[in-house]
Structure 1
Amino acid sequence: MTRNISDLTVLITGAGRGLGAAIARSFAQQGAQVAINYRHSRDSAAALVAELGPRTAAFHADVTDPAQVSAMVAAITDRFGAPDVLVHNALADFSFNGDARKRLDQMHWADIAQQAQTAVGGALHCLHALQPHFAAQGFGRVILIGTNLMQNPVVPYHDYTAAKGALLALTRTAAKELGPLGVTVNMVSGGLLRSTDASAATPEAVFDIIAAQTPLGQVTTPAAMADAVLFFASPWARAVTGQNLIVDGGLVFN
């Protein structure tokens, strides 16, 4: 089964700002109904809804809490119908600042667990809430947001990268299990994005160094990442599942 993007209802976690907001804009521009999940970014989520119009709405939930996720999905279903697409973009509090990062000898399991709770736990909770709908209609699209730091840990953010590595594993195992239901599960992995709240602490010189190392000579933007997410939800990706697409201007060849 394939569906046009304009026929889809899309849930985007962590969509009140940054990359999530860019993804919401891309889906809205293609006519989809867009559910904007936020945890703390209430005002920016409301502003995004006002910008994008009546086929969008904001829904509060902490994705680490399965009860909140279930309540959010119920509210989305009341408003738009059950989501056909999950884009799991939510990120635990994090700042891409290489100088301020914890070194390995300062790292504790709790640091990794905190990142994994949102990256992996949040994805799992959303899948639990959405799988019955996917199964009932024989269709679903799941896009998880990863990182090219797994292929090229140019800055060793141990906690963040470990959690995204676990999320990639879940991408592949979920693709195997959900495929018979008509559900595809894929990951889009960006490099350092210019710019989001998480990358705001990155010195401008670092952006310039990365841009110089890419074949395209530029740092990836949230809008460019959003284009790749849109592809996995589109009819053109109907036979693609369990894959990790790196979107970083060619910094990493995979």
Structure 2
Amino acid sequence: MELRQQTVLITGASRGVGAALAKAFVKEGANVIVNYFKSKEKAEDLAQTLGEKAIAIQADVRDKDQVEAMVAQAKDYFKTPVTTILNNALIDFQFNPVAQKNAFELQWENFNTQFEGSVKGSLNTVQACLADMKENGFGRIVNVGTNLVQNPVVAYHEYTTGKAALLGFTRNMAKELGQYGITVNMISGGLLKETDASSVTTEEVFGIIQATTPLQKVTTPEEFAETALFFASPWARAVTGQNLVVDGGLVMD
């Protein structure tokens, strides 16, 4: 299915990477659901800027009922089911190396917050769209991961562990859903310059990344978003269960 024929659900799309993803898909002619949890004004402003191809819908991805209601509202609005999911939502986390809890301070609740945002949220979106994808014999699911799984430049324990679990989720879903024409992949960026979540990242950390990256630059949200277009496009129809690291070559996996 061409990108211009797709209806794309992007979670956590009001700002940062999510907003860059929304802009990239609308530019290619796709319908886009700008999902948000708290950032109502930003989401609605973005959708208005993007035009009739976009709609902002509130839903907490951790809540199955809210996700199902969002998908139904989008289907009614666009008169077509969701074909493509970008699981991007980030729950209660900032990349702040100074404030990050160390091994002595961490609590299970810190991990559970990230597991629910990454894995439970993705499970809810997939299940809400799965019946239509199966019926149509087509689906594209792209989960947003991190290169910190391979290279923890900073020990963001709970965030990185949640994304590692999301990688396992990605590959198991790819194994089962391939029979229905559904691909499931992951894109893992490094720290992107810059998003709301990375706005508190110190220049020292960005400097380390830039100095040790073959391309000698920190990846931007726009560059990251363009990779998602590939996974959703017909060019990637034979690719599933993969984790593509998009960080300028810092991690070569």
Query: How far has the Cα of 1:203 moved from its partner?
Result: 1.3
For residue 166 of structure 1, what is the amino acid of its counterpart? Answer: A
User: Residue 200 of structure 1 aligns with which residue?
Assistant: 199
Report the Cα distance in structure 1 between the residues aligned to 2:126 and 2:209, rounded to whole angstroms: 35
In structure 1, C-alpha distance between the alignment counterparts of 2:140 and 2:210, rounded to whole Å: 32
Q: Which residue of 2 aligns with 1:32?
A: 30
Separation in structure 1 between the aligned mates of residue 170 and residue 2 of structure 2, nearest angstrom: 23
Counterpart of 2:7 in structure 1 is 9
AA aligned to 1:243 is Q
| CA deviation after TM superposition for structure 1 residue 153, in Å | 0.7
CA apart distance, 1:205: 2.7
Sequence identity percentage: 52
Aligned partners of 1:156 and 1:37: how far apart in 2?
29
> Equivalent residue of 2:85, what SS?
strand
2:104 alignment partner, SS class = helix
**Structure 2 letter corresponding to 1:185:** V
Aligned residue number for residue 75 of structure 1: 73
Which residue type is aligned with residue 30 of structure 1?
E
Distance 2:204 2:112 in 1: 31
1:209 Cα deviation after fit: 2.0
Deviation of the 1:204 alpha carbon:
1.9
Question: What runs of 5+ residues in structure 2 fail to find an aligned partner?
Answer: none
Shift of 1:244: 0.1
Partner Cα distance (1:242, 1:185) in 2: 6
Q: Any stretches of 5+ residues in structure 1 without a counterpart?
A: none
Instruction: Give 1:206 deviation, angstroms.
Output: 1.9
Aligned partner of residue 225 in structure 1, secondary structure: helix
Letter of the structure 1 residue corresponding to residue 146 of structure 2: T
The runs of 4+ residues in structure 1 deviating greater than 2 Å are none
CA distance in structure 2 between the partners assigned to 1:228 and 1:105 by the alignment? 37
Residues matched between the structures, number: 252
2:116 matches 1:131 = no
Q: CA deviation at 1:171?
A: 0.2
Alignment pair present for 1:211 and 2:210 = yes
Secondary structure, counterpart of 2:56 in structure 1: strand
Give the letter aligned to residue 202 of structure 1: T
1:232 Cα offset (Å):
0.3
Which SS does the other structure have where 1:107 is aligned?
coil
User: CA offsets per residue over residues 92-150 of structure 1, 9 Å max, x none?
Assistant: 11110111100011111111001110100000001111110011100000000000000
TM-score w.r.t. the length of structure 1 is 0.98
Aligned partners of 2:154 and 2:41: how far apart in 1? 32
Aligned to 1:22: 20
